[in-house]
Structure 1
Amino acid sequence: MARNSHGKNRRSGGHPPHGAPSGPQGSRPQGPKGPPSTPSRRDSHPHRTHEKRKPVPAPAGPIRRGPPPPPAASGASSVLEGVLQLKGRFGFVLSGTTGKPDLFVTGPTLKLAMNGDRVSARVLRSGDRPEGEILSVVSRARTTLVGSFVAGARPALAPEGAGDPVSILDLGGLTPAAGDLCVLRVTRWPTPKESAAGVLTEILGRRNDPAVDLKFLLRKYGIAEAFPAEVEREAASFGDDVPASAWQGRKTFFDIPVFTIDGADAKDFDDAVSLEELAGGGWRLGVHIADVSHYVREGSALDEEARRRSTSVYLSGAVVPMLPFPLSDNLCSLRPHVPRLTLTCLMELNQAGDVTSHQIFESAIRSVRRFTYEEVESLLKGETAIDVSPPVQAAVSRMGALARLLREKRFGRGSLDFDFPEPYIVVDDQGWPLDARRRERGESHKLIEEFMLLANETVARGMAAVPFLYRVHEKPDPAKMEALEKTLRAVGVAIPAGLHDGKPASLQKVMAGVRGKPVEPMVHMMILRSLKQAVYSPKNAGHFGLASTAYTHFTSPIRRYPDLLVHRLAKEKENGLLTPSRQAEWKGRLPDLTLDASTRERVAVEAEREFLDLKRAQLMTRRVGETFDAIVTGVTSFGMFVQPTAVFVEGLVPMAELGDDYYQYDELRAQLRGRRTGHIYRFGQPVRVRLAAANTEKRQLDFVLEESVARSPRSKPPHRS
């Protein structure tokens, strides 16, 4: 694991945000570059990730195959296979099939499976909210569990998150104390009559030790730190440099300005850009992506490990890479002044910003500079403090102009942009949190975002005739759009015609109508929560959030396995290797590959989010009792969420702490209203709060209301009959 946050939005993928909620996301994997993902930051570049994600605890570790599912009972409508997401006494089977909703499951057979297992389930009731039951476990997500040690005559492990206590049959010679965080190897799988059981294999230590925290989260989500020896040997076998023989037969870009733009702390540079003006007007834009597939060959030990990991994971200053560092930080990283192998998407654009032609081919580059976002931001503003050659400075200026044009075109077709602030934690060398901040997103981020988005779209459109891996974001459910419309009307937001049809352009108009107003963040979150989750799929269902007819992930193969697969497909098509038999092979494999990738992505997002919440709670333990100016960021039936202005954290003011009245939750208007006084608390309202508790075990902050800095005007108390 490296101590490095990788300057892009790692969890994004190099693109803008769009799609499913749950926090900032992007196109480049988080940490580094990218836009959102719900629709799409995860989808555009790695800068942010605003995708809506459903937590699915993590598959990892050795896979144990179960018996084939029994045949469906007579009269059953269908049987499906998917990943189980447990929620206490019920759960959901996530099929990963485009257009199919998750299956709600409960009942005694739920005990057969554990969180993250791949299961076979029978659909008992179909429709928009299908229900069913587990038939069997197809494969286990993992063979180990982590949790707190429960001492006693019959010791057990209380799994972190969902699931029943697991009996410990053998302490394995270890002597844990009550409450110690431990690892257990499962030796008996659960049945309807008997719980799971296992052998204790490791004592991680006590909570709130940074080293233990990190180990615990990685074990909990099944994220492996160390690479198998065979994988390390294979990565080391390529040496430290790219020999000249490696780029023979490739088109080289050694004589034009090609450069990277990343965060100041980035080390794995997987994309570089170039831009030339065409004689007749327009541009030739080159998006040059690390040719990871040159080193990670299909079926190799490297490939199997990359598929198992599927994504790099970024945890507050540390990264667990998808590929060993000799590749991720060296041979595949587009470092300056050294030759590197790339896969180039070369696009010619007219003066209106339309792609008139494109090519995808194997290439080699020698980056002339490793820019930071801050340096490019300075150049775009015309500042002269940065020492660069005139050709490079001119290229940056042209790129800024083209990116603005592309962004204008994208918004013109209805693309959404959820510009939520991306949080990051500053930690010391031991991993203790020092501060929680917002990551700024300037024009330099948007420049890379637009170029990566365009490359992803261009590649996807060019692969329409063959089996392919798409990043899809389906249209929202009509029922959710109707509910959204009612809520927006109730809070006084103007509704454009056709909103209930769920067209991105209509939602974009809503967002434009609240721009700069106090309700803007709330409206953005309402819209985001009404959208579906972006996923990988072999079926092209378009990308709603980006208002795109075809989209993929091409730009981050160092840290995302789907991008590596896209590279293989693109190279096979370019080299005439997609024969009918090979296409049939891809067609048969892509459903499982895309489901696995979507599942692993959710795991990484959940791990990153939980680690962020843990560090925020740890940061605030030393500030319990302090008073803060804050903003209301959400209301619920159990209280209101607030965000202090001085530090980027969020916590809950429980309903019981709103002691001056009995407050009722008005879900339609998204507000709390005092029954006696008519006082209202709603999104965006300034309040004064005191931090009452910081619970690191639950990753929660609890505030109490000191006073209302600016309450909404009193409304009339409700009529009493």
Structure 2
Amino acid sequence: MAKKKKPKKESSQKKTYKGIVDVTRSGMAFVAVEGLPSDIMVKQKNLNTALDGDEVLVDVIRQGKGVGRMEGFVTDVLKRKKTEFTGTIQLSKTFAFLVPEKGAGVPDIYIPENSLKGAKDGDKAVVRITAWGEKTRKPVGEIVEILDASDSNDLAMKEILIESGFPLHYPEEVLEETARIYEKITADEVSKRKDFRKILTFTIDPVDAKDFDDALSIRRLKNGLLEIGVHIADVSHYVEPLTALDKEAEKRATSVYLPDRVLPMLPEKISNELCSLRPNEDKLTFSAVFQINDQAEVKQYWLGRTVIHSAHRFTYEEVQEIIEKGEGPHDQEVLLLNNLAQTLRKRRFKDGAINFSSQEVRFQLDAAGKPIGVTIKESKEAHQLIEEFMLLANRTVAEYVSKQKVNKNPVPFPYRVHDTPDEEKMHVFAVFASKFGYKFDVAGPETIAASFNKMLQLVQGKPEQHVLETLGIRTMAKAVYTTENIGHYGLGFEHYCHFTSPIRRYPDVLVHRILAQCLADDVKIDKQLEKRCKHSSEMERKAMDAERAGNKYKQVEYMQQFIGDTFEAVVSGVAHFGFWAETVEAKCEGLISIHNLSEDFRHSESEYALVGMQTGRRIRIGDRVTIRVVAASLAKRQLDYDLVEADTDGEGKRPSKRRSAEVPREGVWTEGAGPGRSRKPAGAGKPERSSRSRKPAEGKPPARKKKK
């Protein structure tokens, strides 16, 4: 990358920082640097090709006086947030430009004639930046895909993926490398593994899953113990370090799940064919095998590479039916596994895990991808069966590696950790919960966990259940990947890692490689491991943002048909400019602006509420309200609601007053409230194996009140 002449500095002492660029709509940028009290301002002319979200090095060229803001100059771009962009083609005779979507903060991208790939003037397209002009410092690109502008859903989903930094296509060298992978399992390879092909093995997955990355085997041993095998697709056998395939998987770090599609971390030949543990096929796996008594006590375990042959492919619904009715294919084995799983689950909560429940909202889509219904998925015993054995395998692998040494030091390893709750947030929540009669002992992490579980048990079915569960989750830290093992607070584990989903998570691939090295007593120190962990955590957050954006788009699209209708809703967040309400049945969240309420309100953070200045009335998270749908903007992915209030004489309903009000894009959310926020931190008592859905769930439109 060519260096640009730096502007003259006020001081001869050089100060260079590393941070993330945030470009405003005006073109002015700010670099957020960890540890600095304020961001470094960078004028547009000093960005040096940096784009919004890029990781950069910035030199301070003006220190600022007093509390004045520092000004800087970007000297180098360390990591691009994204290299692909969507926009509209403007075609000339021998070249073209891609004009990015408005507000993207990206200059027009020059496209040479040999990179047009048949694009016409006015086409919507995806363009990958391949270079930056030496003199112009403008981007040069090539067309990756011409989009069908008439398919608004497909266009929106692809834009969401690209906005989040996930490329839609794999580089040619990755596809070529994948095509060259030898598919057959040789006798020599089988001889290096423990053979489980004659032991009953099956998979349990969502009805629409294609990437089966885990299987369970079960048999009764002569010593009376049960042998339970947790078999995981051996991705690391096919994806070797430093190959183009490995580098692309590391870059993506995770698969992304949108309402109507999956963008896989690995090409489909690997994720859906070679590594998918499909029934009636021999497959290579990495396994954790346990000898367990009928009280679910592990007497011994074995870790190593295996070969399996799945005899049956179960859906969650089929297993749940066997559990409830007590009969069906392999019913005795399924019921045995379920009994063990429930015992493990009870013991886990007794030992300090936090029992937060979770719901998954899924849209039913028609052939064009338009939402026509909503279903709410809840965790049942079939899901918990898989969850508990995956947790057991993950925990066991982490415990094993934690005891290994290299040069008398612990082996560097990508642990999955979850920190204890923030003290300040916990104190505020404890005071709030006490108003409902729930006491919290905040003396330490163990007593907090016990208090949470007691509250979650007592609150079931009560009016305050939703608010206390929601706010309790928001006190939790986020789970991350790191080599510094601080344990997993939400799960109550001292050692934990991700071992069970290498098809869709890159840290699991790293875990497999390091585990194999430990088993072979040939550990190779990866000096970049912490950096890889940090990158995987960042990409996980970006994937979650993309998933929320996709769900929000479908919420808005779904509610467009209900403009003017009223619904029962629950207050789901509050801020100084208004509050959010989520419809009870469809779980679609919209904003009620403070400007449209019938009196003046102030925001009370300690009460998680808006408080009326004249009446003292409180609008609090968890309150039931009636809302009217007034706007549904797909462009903004935003729903606007009005609060429907009772007349003073109690007869009928009247809408709150309404004025045009622009919703702030920036600001501080209360306890994580706001559009697209995470309802639950990853790993905070949440199943560590999510449903890997490729198709929408079935459902029906919610009941609604008629228009007034």
TM-score scaled by structure 2? Answer: 0.77
Q: Which of residues 477, 480, 483 in structure 2 aligns to 1:538?
A: 483
- Whether 2:271 is the aligned partner of 1:271: answer no
Query: Is the contact made by 2:255 and 2:263 (CA closer than 8 Å) also made in structure 1?
Result: yes
Q: Which of residues 624, 633, 654 in structure 1 aligns to 2:563?
A: 624
Which amino acid letter does the alignment assign opposite residue 683 of structure 1? I
- Whether 2:58 is the aligned partner of 1:118: answer no
Q: Which runs of 5+ in 2 are unaligned?
A: 64-69, 92-96, 405-410, 651-708
Q: Which of residues 425, 430, 451 in structure 1 aligns to 2:368?
A: 430
Other structure's SS at 2:203 match: strand
After superposing the two structures, state which structure 1 stretch, 140-149 or 613-622, moved more. Answer: 140-149
Other structure's SS at 2:325 match: coil
> What is the CA deviation profile of residues 626-663 of structure 1, one whole-angstrom value per residue up to 9, with x for unaligned ones?
2222222233322222222342311122223322x333
Query: Is the contact made by 2:427 and 2:442 (CA closer than 8 Å) also made in structure 1?
Result: no
Structure 1 181/325 Cα, relative in aligned 2: closer, same or farther at 3 Å? closer
- Whether 2:345 is the aligned partner of 1:404: answer no
Measure the CA separation in 2 of the matches of 1:369 and 1:149: 50
Measure the CA separation in 1 of the matches of 2:107 and 2:52: 13
TM-superposed CA distance for 1:211, in Å, is: 2.5
Measure the CA separation in 2 of the matches of 1:383 and 1:442: 15
Query: Is the contact made by 2:84 and 2:126 (CA closer than 8 Å) also made in structure 1?
Result: no
Measure the CA separation in 2 of the matches of 1:472 and 1:478: 18
- Whether 2:107 is the aligned partner of 1:166: answer yes
Measure the CA separation in 1 of the matches of 2:225 and 2:647: 54
**RMSD between aligned residues:** 4.1
Counterpart in 2 of 1:589? 528
> What is the CA deviation profile of residues 234-282 of structure 1, one whole-angstrom value per residue up to 9, with x for unaligned ones?
3333455534443123111122221110000011100001234456665
Query: Is the contact made by 1:475 and 1:502 (CA closer than 8 Å) also made in structure 2?
Result: no
> What is the CA deviation profile of residues 193-226 of structure 1, one whole-angstrom value per residue up to 9, with x for unaligned ones?
x997667958756597122223322332332333
Measure the CA separation in 2 of the matches of 1:87 and 1:507: 41
TM-superposed CA distance for 1:418, in Å, is: 2.8
Counterpart in 2 of 1:674? 612
> What is the CA deviation profile of residues 437-477 of structure 1, one whole-angstrom value per residue up to 9, with x for unaligned ones?
32232111011111111110110111013221111112233
Other structure's SS at 1:314 match: strand
TM-superposed CA distance for 1:709, in Å, is: 11
Q: Which of residues 449, 452, 475 in structure 2 aligns to 1:504?
A: 449
> What is the CA deviation profile of residues 549-584 of structure 1, one whole-angstrom value per residue up to 9, with x for unaligned ones?
111110001111111111111112112322xxx23x
Counterpart in 2 of 1:301? 244
Other structure's SS at 2:302 match: strand
Query: Is the contact made by 2:371 and 2:558 (CA closer than 8 Å) also made in structure 1?
Result: yes
Q: Percent identity of the aligned residues?
A: 34
Q: Which of residues 433, 439, 445 in structure 2 aligns to 1:494?
A: 439
Other structure's SS at 2:285 match: strand
Which amino acid letter does the alignment assign opposite residue 225 of structure 1? L
Alignment of 1:17-416 (within 5 A): 81=18, 105-108=39-42, 112=47, 113-120=50-57, 136=75, 137-146=77-86, 164=105, 166=107, 183=127, 185=129, 204=147, 209-238=152-181, 241-277=184-220, 283-350=226-293, 352-384=295-327, 386=328, 388=329, 392-416=330-354
Counterpart in 2 of 1:22? none
Measure the CA separation in 1 of the matches of 2:581 and 2:150: 26
Counterpart in 2 of 1:701? 639
Measure the CA separation in 1 of the matches of 2:502 and 2:348: 25
Which amino acid letter does the alignment assign opposite residue 494 of structure 1? K
Query: Is the contact made by 1:413 and 1:505 (CA closer than 8 Å) also made in structure 2?
Result: no
TM-superposed CA distance for 1:618, in Å, is: 1.4
Measure the CA separation in 2 of the matches of 1:709 and 1:429: 44
Q: Which runs of 5+ in 1 are unaligned?
A: 1-63, 96-100, 125-130, 713-721
Structure 1 558/66 Cα, relative in aligned 2: closer, same or farther at 3 Å? farther
TM-superposed CA distance for 1:74, in Å, is: 10
Measure the CA separation in 2 of the matches of 1:180 and 1:325: 26
Measure the CA separation in 2 of the matches of 1:190 and 1:450: 56
TM-score scaled by structure 1? Answer: 0.76
Measure the CA separation in 1 of the matches of 2:387 and 2:320: 14
Counterpart in 1 of 2:700? none
Measure the CA separation in 2 of the matches of 1:316 and 1:410: 32
TM-superposed CA distance for 1:168, in Å, is: 6.2
Counterpart in 2 of 1:522? 467
Structure 1 484/114 Cα, relative in aligned 2: closer, same or farther at 3 Å? farther
Counterpart in 1 of 2:382? 444
Measure the CA separation in 1 of the matches of 2:133 and 2:437: 53
Which amino acid letter does the alignment assign opposite residue 430 of structure 1? A
Other structure's SS at 1:166 match: coil
Counterpart in 2 of 1:551? 496
Counterpart in 1 of 2:661? none
Counterpart in 1 of 2:420? 475
> What is the CA deviation profile of residues 41-74 of structure 1, one whole-angstrom value per residue up to 9, with x for unaligned ones?
xxxxxxxxxxxxxxxxxxxxxxx7989x9xxx99
TM-superposed CA distance for 1:669, in Å, is: 1.4
- Whether 2:516 is the aligned partner of 1:576: answer no
- Whether 2:590 is the aligned partner of 1:635: answer no
Other structure's SS at 1:107 match: strand
After superposing the two structures, state which structure 1 stretch, 397-406 or 302-311, moved more. Answer: 302-311
Which amino acid letter does the alignment assign opposite residue 499 of structure 2? F
> What is the CA deviation profile of residues 494-521 of structure 1, one whole-angstrom value per residue up to 9, with x for unaligned ones?
2235268985334434433433322223
After superposing the two structures, state which structure 1 stretch, 397-406 or 529-538, moved more. Answer: 529-538
- The structure whose RCO (Cα within 8 Å, separation 6+) is larger is 1
Measure the CA separation in 2 of the matches of 1:311 and 1:260: 22
Measure the CA separation in 2 of the matches of 1:358 and 1:198: 55
Q: Across the two proteins, how many residue pairs are aligned to each other?
A: 618
After superposing the two structures, state which structure 1 stretch, 434-443 or 356-365, moved more. Answer: 434-443
Query: Is the contact made by 1:92 and 1:103 (CA closer than 8 Å) also made in structure 2?
Result: no
Query: Is the contact made by 1:145 and 1:186 (CA closer than 8 Å) also made in structure 2?
Result: no
Structure 1 422/74 Cα, relative in aligned 2: closer, same or farther at 3 Å? farther
Structure 1 207/603 Cα, relative in aligned 2: closer, same or farther at 3 Å? farther
Measure the CA separation in 2 of the matches of 1:491 and 1:157: 55
Which amino acid letter does the alignment assign opposite residue 217 of structure 2? S
Other structure's SS at 1:348 match: strand
Which amino acid letter does the alignment assign opposite residue 174 of structure 2? V
Which amino acid letter does the alignment assign opposite residue 105 of structure 1? D
Structure 1 325/164 Cα, relative in aligned 2: closer, same or farther at 3 Å? closer
Which amino acid letter does the alignment assign opposite residue 141 of structure 1? K
Query: Is the contact made by 1:105 and 1:134 (CA closer than 8 Å) also made in structure 2?
Result: no
After superposing the two structures, state which structure 1 stretch, 347-356 or 633-642, moved more. Answer: 347-356
Query: Is the contact made by 1:121 and 1:132 (CA closer than 8 Å) also made in structure 2?
Result: no
Structure 1 180/227 Cα, relative in aligned 2: closer, same or farther at 3 Å? closer
Structure 1 272/65 Cα, relative in aligned 2: closer, same or farther at 3 Å? farther
Other structure's SS at 1:555 match: coil
TM-superposed CA distance for 1:608, in Å, is: 1.6
Which amino acid letter does the alignment assign opposite residue 296 of structure 1? V
Other structure's SS at 2:528 match: helix
Structure 1 603/190 Cα, relative in aligned 2: closer, same or farther at 3 Å? farther
Measure the CA separation in 1 of the matches of 2:501 and 2:2: 31
Structure 1 245/171 Cα, relative in aligned 2: closer, same or farther at 3 Å? closer
Measure the CA separation in 2 of the matches of 1:221 and 1:630: 30
Which amino acid letter does the alignment assign opposite residue 367 of structure 1? S
Which amino acid letter does the alignment assign opposite residue 209 of structure 1? S
After superposing the two structures, state which structure 1 stretch, 542-551 or 691-700, moved more. Answer: 542-551
Query: Is the contact made by 1:277 and 1:283 (CA closer than 8 Å) also made in structure 2?
Result: yes
Other structure's SS at 2:487 match: coil
After superposing the two structures, state which structure 1 stretch, 485-494 or 344-353, moved more. Answer: 485-494
After superposing the two structures, state which structure 1 stretch, 690-699 or 495-504, moved more. Answer: 495-504
- Whether 2:555 is the aligned partner of 1:610: answer no
Query: Is the contact made by 2:358 and 2:379 (CA closer than 8 Å) also made in structure 1?
Result: no
